[in-house]
Structure 1
Amino acid sequence: MIRKTTPTLIVLLMLLLGTGLPVQAEDGYRLWLRYDKVQDASRLQQYRQQVTEVILEGNSPTLAIAKRELAQGLRGLLGQEVPFGQKATKAGTLIAGTPASSPLVAQLQLGDKLKAAGDEGYLILTTQLNGRNSHVIAANTDIGVLYGTFHFLRLLQSSQDITKLAVSSAPKIQHRVLNHWDNLDRTVERGYAGFSLWDWHRLPGYIDQRYLDYARANASIGINGTVLTNVNANALVLTKEYLVKVAALADAFRPYGIKVYLTARFSAPIEIGGLKTADPHEPTVQQWWKDKAAEIYSHVPDFGGFLVKANSEGQPGPQNYGRNHADGANMLADAVAPQGGIVMWRAFVYDDKEPDDRAKQAYTEFKPLDGTFRKNVMVQVKNGAIDFQPREPFHPLFGAMPKTPIMMEFQITQEYLGQGTNLAYLAPMFQETLEADTHAKGKGSTVAKVIDGTLDKHQLTGIAGVANIGTDRNWTGHLFGQSNWYTFGRLAWNHQLSSEEIAAEWIKMTFTSNANVVMPVQNMMMTSREAVVNYMTPLGLHHIMGWSHHYGPGPWIKDKHRADWTSVYYHRADEQGIGFDRTKTGSNALAQYAPPVQKQFGNIKTCPEEFLLWFHHVKWDHKLKSGRTLWNELCYRYSEGVDQVRQMQSTWASLEGKVDEERFAHVQSLLKIQEQEAKWWRDACLLYFQTFSKRPIPSDLEKPAETLEYYMNLDPKFVPGI
């Protein structure tokens, strides 16, 4: 009997026989570190002439990684082996190291240039050595050499000219951290890419290769810290049984320059310590945390410190005992200070018993505490005052606490931006906040200057991103979600990079340097976030998503146990108009901003239209800059969002055959889903708001496909990441 051979078996046999089929699928696992052969023939010839050998001396684990990265990267990009040597005997030698590890780097006497690079920065120079042109990657530390190595390879990946290099790069922000909202059962809160990377069951004995690939990817963009656990913390991670597992991860990450942090549950002294209180003024509680910190450092000598969510959304905190946030933060800061640890204390707080505008509550609680925190405490502030909305004005705490280091918290995972099915490139969103002017010390007092310490002369600085990473093969669920991980790292290192520049880098490293691909994909990415805002929350609308899971539209959500968890609390639509009045005639949240910001946003004529309904309750017939009434403008904005998604579909379709089949099909499928969801948002929101406006949808626009009742009765199930 002859068995029928399946297509899968045929492929496997062909692979085994070496027929030339690709062994490695283009499934996105390699991220932006693909190192495929340079396709531009002239560039390839240039690189082969200018990088003929490598000298990298030193034997630390970090330098060993840099050496391996150069060997792998150059082999792939140049399509040939590049030998490693010990003497610069030919033109095109690439020298990498520190003055301490490399006599050749020391010989160059880079002095003041290296001093300016600091502990993590680096130089990449084209110079003369023994009368021959050479390239140098020089740094003061081994991790600086690794960062410089990734930068040099990035130049080759993106087909840059390397004939006259003169790069000096140092991070503008000290602590560049991913916040993983990972639970100990491996679920991920607001995660849309599978389960948690951390396999607690098999740790500490088994170090998954994925941990090392994760660390490598982070090092390639300069991320130097990772918070392993959810801010809605589980005290068990502080027990010995888990600390040995945490130590194994820390050991794996250390050569890549990554420190491990943990979330501290404020009630841990009670839950795992046997105490009757967690009062930060109680000496026994203070001692418990000091002992616990010492235990952690015995396992992880370079433990970074704690991230804390306290007295928010049901989490325990110092206010349970009549204390304030500084009392709680300072107790933990004292515990980790002897070993150089820090505390990142989140300002995302709001009390369900507080009747005031939720947008005001963090400022109200934290502003009076300015100057009362220990020197190793940073207050971690979300980009906006509500909760990672598709668009928010900058948080009023930026610039309002000059005596306290303020740390930025961005959300990379797309909780409110389409979750795992929508393409939304977030660099423009991040930059919008970073470039916002607080006017705290006059014009030019940008949010970026607050968090990089230059505005108020702070040495302790930080930026955090809520990670979008999981066990999905491509790491982020949506392939383009990788661009937001990449963007966060690049902006954390240098917030002056442009969104366009970062997008072009990522595209060239992820797909190809072919301009016929780079330009259309870049254009698609640059419009994507605005498209999401248009079909979800245009003109300053916010917090009108589905209940609890936050998936899909739900502007009708009301009558829940908390008013500020409903949609009607925020949009306040009625027969007169729509929007939340935060001026003097309303909640007066504007008073928390500097006078020039109040003046601009408080006047309906000068308020930027993207924030109009955030700060004003506006009449339906109010005329906007377009000449349209508010109602008509809402209709056109919602419709424009759908059209923008369709344009993205068209752009992507034009790239068929120019992008590998597997990733092309992946993105194409998700863009189809995104179009369906954009129409869902548009139709549901316009039909609902029409019940208040009593005005028709303009005749030239596409009409809703279903009734309002249909959309209100939808009950999405199987939503991940709740």
Structure 2
Amino acid sequence: MWQTPSLPARPAIILLVILLFADCPMRAGADPGNPLPWGYELWLKFAPVSDSVLASQYRASLEGIVMEPVGATQEIAYRELTEGIGNMLSRPLLPRTTTSGGNLLVAATLDRLPTRFREFLGERKIPAEGFLIREVADGPRKHILLTAADDAGLLYGAYRLLRLVQTHRPLSGLDQLDAPKARLRMLNHWDNLDRSIERGYAGFSIFNWHTLPDFRDPRYEDYARANASLGINATAVTNVNANALVLTEAYIDKARALADIFRPYGIRLYLTARFSAPMEIGGLDTADPLDPRVSAWWRDKAGEIYRAIPDFGGFLVKANSEGQPGPQNYGRSHREGANMLADALGPFGGNVIWRAFVYSEEDPEDRAKQAYSEFAPEDGKFRDNVLLQVKNGPIDFQPREPIHPLFGAMPETPLLVEFQITKEYLGFATHLAFLPKLFEEVLQTDTYREGPGSTVARVVDGSLHGKALSGMAGVANIGTDINWTGHPFGQADWYGFGRLAWDPYLSSGQLAEEWVRATFGNDPVLVASLKDMMLRSREAVVNYMNPLGLHHLFDTGHHYGPGPWVDDLSRPEWNPVYYHQADASGIGFDRSATGSNAVAQYAPELATRYGSLETCPEEFLLWFHHVPWDYRLRSGHTLWEGLGLKYQEGVDTVVGMLADWQELESRLPQEVYRDVSMRLQIQLREARWWKYACMQYFRTFSGMDFPQGMEPPEHPLEYYKALRFPFAPGIRPRWN
């Protein structure tokens, strides 16, 4: 018999936010029953359906709900469905104990689905974490059936159904069978224990380690809810530049409190492990992975963690990179270090995620080649529970990079692609740059490792080499700002990453439209305008920062603004001059066969394409070639002219984005209109700064006049070189 459940009230986040923002005026026209400031609810504000005809159709399809939730996850799904649909239809979605009378929503996992509904499944199988949403006929009635193989799938299906109504999609004839294509869908927080965030631009860390485990901020559950709505199922809550204290007893207890909150939302907690922890907190005199005392220490530590957190995901490790300790301190390989940790976690079902972001100041090889050289020879030698986490490109989250050559090159090793959701190199939280456009570009790139069609997406979902364990990781852009991400459109980057982690074949256009509809409503003019603005925003940033394959021109330390002249840092590969190599003859890094031969690390099809000046895509021209200033581009312009015009094109695109935004003022909430208007003004000023500073500097080598069609710089080069920003946000803490 179906029972009407008795559910606990949702966390008292509304009261908390009222107290925090008691002095904040509500915007004109705001719902007086919803005191949350704009942006806090992200894409989960289930506002009433504004189209009266469509609302009537939804009400006819969803007259009540038949569901008997069992366990915390199913209770969350029930609460989301009843509250969310009730809000959108402006009337309660009432519980029913029987399917007689009315068109109903019937929701249950397969093991609890009434027998007579099983016939609607036919031969269709629902994978783990997947779900089926289908309109089914029951005599004169038509029900919406939501079913799944497990609790997580039921929750994901609930959010999908809510999104369909929220974005005004028809329910008539609905038949969606969906499941995640990648097993691990993960956020990486570069959050420190003192609540600072390396490369964080939206306030402090939401994780308050000082007050944990006793004070459980309601925001933790809202964070888990947002992730679950996208299908994100794992999170590493501490910085990869790790602090060993997080593995002490007190902090394990704090981590346990977070894991308890995340668990009902299908999210497993990971921690970053500092490789020298046996020495720093364990009293050993070495961290050599082949020392029996060290391996025993890690086994004991794993047991301690799993006693507190039975579903602990495992360790994320940055080792022997940028000063972090690792196995190479003891003459051991990355493989030996990773396998030692994997042996400690293996008996408990845990994973080791080992970052492939490594480069050494002692290694004179092109930095773009070092990770491949370190890891490709080790393919097939890692334990089954070791995953390599590989940045999308071979340098460091640049506005545009070619794909990392490791993708597809290690068929025996599970790989995660690592994207940066936070905008370290794309304008922090003041520039609009829709990052799913970048993610899509990478995922759709063909590696050719197994012939045509061997895309990065097929590496990510494991299908290229038959890997059950693979996925995506994203460096989070989340902080204590009331809208979570600083820039309101930063929410779209979090949203788009989560959706692509679920299905890496989705288009950035679909994701932009989904997010706009969920966040701003379904006004067709607003949807079309904002979608168009978002889809052209990332290319604008590429053009005014790093056009034609230029890269790593950022000022030192904080990476805020241009610094192509920087040449005095202690390691050559930390200096922008290392990457652009401008001189009187031309500009660009020669990675062809006549240079570092980095092209040889790619499959022959890509090596040939990138290695020839005639066939190299112009967006990667200066990444792979040192090109004369008077070289003719395909447009007919010289390289020097094309460079200046690309910088100008980036600026002009921002001018257009600002104008488009201003035309939408009457259709937008005033607080978000003002917020984004100010940020776009900053973006425009800084886009011009990038253009002026870089072209002034590169002119000292080309000796040429600025091209026609490019606004000339406002100041001499010395002005731009003298600018200083000692407190730019997101700098790595010195103690780290």
Q: Above 0.5 in TM-score?
A: yes
Distance 1:305 1:510, change over 3 A: same
Q: Given the alignment of the two structures, is residue 563 of structure 1 paired with residue 593 of structure 2, yes or no?
A: no
In the superposition, the TM-score normalised over structure 1's length comes to 0.96
Q: 1:52 is aligned with what amino acid?
A: E
- The CA deviation string for residues 477-505 of structure 1, in whole angstroms up to 9 with x for no partner, is 00000000000000000111111000000
User: Does the 8 Å contact 2:186/2:474 carry over to 1?
Assistant: yes
Task: Assess, with a 3 A threshold, how the Cα gap between structure 1 residues 12 and 334 changes in structure 2: closer, same or farther.
Answer: closer
For 1:541 and 1:304, the matched residues in 2 are separated by: 38
Q: Does the 8 A contact of 1:99 with 1:105 survive in 2?
A: no
Residue 80 (structure 1) shift: 1.0
Q: C-alpha separation between the residues in 1 aligned to 2:669 and 2:586?
A: 49
Residue of 278, 281, 284 corresponding to 1:272: 281
Distance 2:110 2:603 in 1: 48
What is the CA distance between 1:20 and its match in structure 2?
Answer: 7.2
Distance in 2 of aligned mates of 1:312 and 1:12 = 46
Distance 2:239 2:726 in 1: 23
Query: 3-state SS of the aligned residue for 2:637?
Result: coil
Alignment partner of 1:386 out of 384, 395, 398? 395
The one of 529, 532, 538 aligned to 1:529:
538
Distance 2:467 2:30 in 1: 60
| Residue 292 (structure 1) aligned to one of 281, 301, 314 | 301
List per-residue Cα deviations over 1:577-618 (Å, max 9, x = no partner). Answer: 100000111111111111111111111111000000000000
Q: Distance between the aligned counterparts of 2:250 and 2:33, measured in 1?
A: 43
Alignment of 1:242 onto 2:251 = yes
Please report the TM-score for the alignment, with normalisation by the length of structure 2. 0.94
Identify the residue that residue 6 of structure 1 maps to in structure 2: none
C-alpha distance in 1, partners of 2:223/2:116? 30
**Residue of structure 2 equivalent to 1:593:** 602
Output the CA distance in 2 between the equivalents of 1:525 and 1:236: 41
Question: Structure 1 stretch 195-204 or stretch 177-186: which is displaced more?
Answer: 195-204
2:523: which partner in 1? 514
**Equivalent of residue 698 in structure 2, options 689, 699, 704:** 689
Q: Does 1:53 align with 2:64?
A: yes
Q: Distance in 1 between matches of 2:613 and 2:271?
A: 44
- Rounded to whole Å, the distance in 2 between the matches of 1:663 and 1:288 is 51
Worse overlay, 679-688 or 99-108: 99-108
C-alpha change, 1:302 and 1:31, in structure 2 (3 Å) is same
**CA pair 401-524 structure 1, distance change in 2 beyond 3 A:** same
| 1:154 lines up with 2:160 in the alignment | no
Aligned residues: 708
Deviation at 1:698, TM superposition (A): 2.0
Tell me how far apart the structure 1 counterparts of residues 420 and 34 of structure 2 sit (CA, whole Å): 35
Q: Distance in 1 between matches of 2:306 and 2:629?
A: 60
CA distance in 1, matches of 2:292, 2:116: 52
CA distance in 1, matches of 2:626, 2:599: 14
The offset of 1:189, in angstroms, is: 0.3
Q: Measured at CA, do residues 204 and 526 of structure 1 come closer, stay the same or move farther in structure 2, by a change above 3 Å?
A: same
RMSD of equivalent CA atoms: 1.6
Cα separation, partners in 2 of 1:272 and 1:106, compared to 1, 3 Å: farther
Paired residue secondary structure (2:667): coil
Deviation at 1:21, TM superposition (A): 4.9
Residue from 418, 432, 443 that aligns with 2:452: 443
Q: Aligned residues: percent identity?
A: 55
Contact 1:97 1:105 in 2 (8 A): no
1:71 counterpart (79, 82, 89): 82
Q: Which residue of 2 aligns with 1:480?
A: 489
How big is each residue's C-alpha offset from its partner over 1:202-251, in whole Å with a ceiling of 9 and x where there is no partner?
11111111001000000000000000100000010000100111000000
Pairing 1:93–2:111 present: no
Paired with 1:351 and 1:618, the residues of 2 have a C-alpha distance of 27
Shift of 1:272: 0.5
The letter of the residue matching 2:58 is Y
Partner of 1:700: 709
1:632-671 to structure 2, matched below 5 A, reads 632-671=641-680
Q: How does 1:179-218 map to 2 (within 5 A)?
A: 179-218=188-227
- Residue 258 of structure 2: SS of its match in structure 1? helix
* CA distance, structure 1, for counterparts of residue 204 and residue 522 of structure 2: 33
* Equivalent residues of 1:14, 1:21 under 8 A apart: no
Tell me, yes or no, if the aligned pair for 2:37 and 2:482 is still in contact at 8 Å: no
**In structure 2, C-alpha distance between the alignment counterparts of 1:173 and 1:704, rounded to whole Å:** 48
Q: Which residue of 2 aligns with 1:361?
A: 370
Counterpart of 1:140? 149
Q: What do residues 545-603 of structure 1 show as CA deviations (whole Å, max 9, x unaligned)?
A: 01010000000010210110000000000111100000111111111111111111111
**Secondary structure of the structure 2 residue equivalent to 1:657:** helix
1:104-157 deviation digits (Å, cap 9, x = unpaired): 6864462642x3x31100000000135410001110111111000000000011
Following superposition, the deviation at residue 716 of structure 1 comes to 1.6
Q: Give the whole-Å Cα distance in 2 for the aligned partners of 1:288 and 1:347.
A: 25
Cα distance change of structure 1 residues 464 and 320 upon mapping to structure 2, 3 Å threshold: same
Contact preservation (8 Å) 1:381, 1:397 = yes
1:385-421: per-residue Cα shift (whole Å, max 9, x none)? 0000000000001111111111110000000000111
Whether the 8 Å CA contact 2:319–2:326 is kept in 1: the answer is yes
Query: Displacement of 1:439 after TM fit?
Result: 0.8
- Give the counterpart letter for 2:96 in structure 1: G
Q: CA deviation at 1:458?
A: 1.0
1:281 paired residue number: 290
Residue range with higher mean Cα deviation, 441-450 or 23-32: 23-32
1:45, distance to aligned residue in structure 2 (A): 1.2
State the shift of 1:158 in Å: 0.5
Whole-angstrom CA distance in 1 between matches of 2:116 and 2:424: 47
Q: Give the AA of the match of 1:62.
A: T
SS of aligned partner of 2:416: strand
Shift of 1:91: 3.1
CA shift at 1:516, angstroms?
0.6
Q: Distance in 2 between matches of 1:391 and 1:128?
A: 50
Task: Quote the Cα distance in structure 2 between the aligned partners of 1:694 and 1:464.
Answer: 44
State the alpha-carbon separation in 1 of the partners of residues 90 and 219 from structure 2: 26
Match of 1:8 in 2: none
Q: Secondary structure, in 3 states, of the residue corresponding to 2:304?
A: helix
Structure 2 Cα separation of the partners of residues 509 and 109 of structure 1: 30
Report the 3-state secondary structure (helix = DSSP H, G, I; strand = E; otherwise coil) of the residue aligned with 2:590. Answer: coil
| CA offset digits 1:44-79 (Å, max 9, x no partner) | 111111110011112210011011101111121111
Alpha-carbon distance change, 207 to 383 in structure 1, aligned in 2, over 3 angstroms: same
The aligned residue for residue 10 of structure 2 is none
> In the alignment, what sits opposite 2:11?
none
AA at the equivalent of 1:203:
L
**Could you say what secondary structure the match of 2:430 adopts?**
coil
Point out where structure 1 has 5 or more consecutive residues left out of the alignment. 1-10
Structure 1 CA distance for aligned equivalents of residues 31 and 449 of structure 2: 62
Q: Is the 8 A contact 1:26 1:663 kept in 2?
A: no
Is this contact kept in 1: 2:186–2:232, CA < 8 A?
Answer: yes
Task: Name the amino acid aligned to 2:134.
Answer: L
Contact kept, 8 Å, 2:278 with 2:286, in 1: the verdict is yes
Query: SS where residue 657 of structure 2 aligns?
Result: helix
- Aligned residues of 1:539 and 1:610 also touching (Cα < 8 A): yes
Amino acid at match of 2:728: V
The equivalent of 2:6 in structure 1 is none
The answer as to whether partners of 1:58 and 1:102 remain within 8 angstroms in 2 is: no
Residue among 169, 172, 175 paired with 2:181: 172
Tell me the distance in 1 between the aligned counterparts of 2:709 and 2:200: 39
- How far, CA to CA, are the matches of 1:450 and 1:234 in structure 2? 31
Preserved CA contact (<8 Å) 1:95 1:104: no
- On the 8 A contact 1:230/1:263 being kept in 2, the answer is yes
Q: Which runs of 5+ in 2 are unaligned?
A: 1-21, 732-736
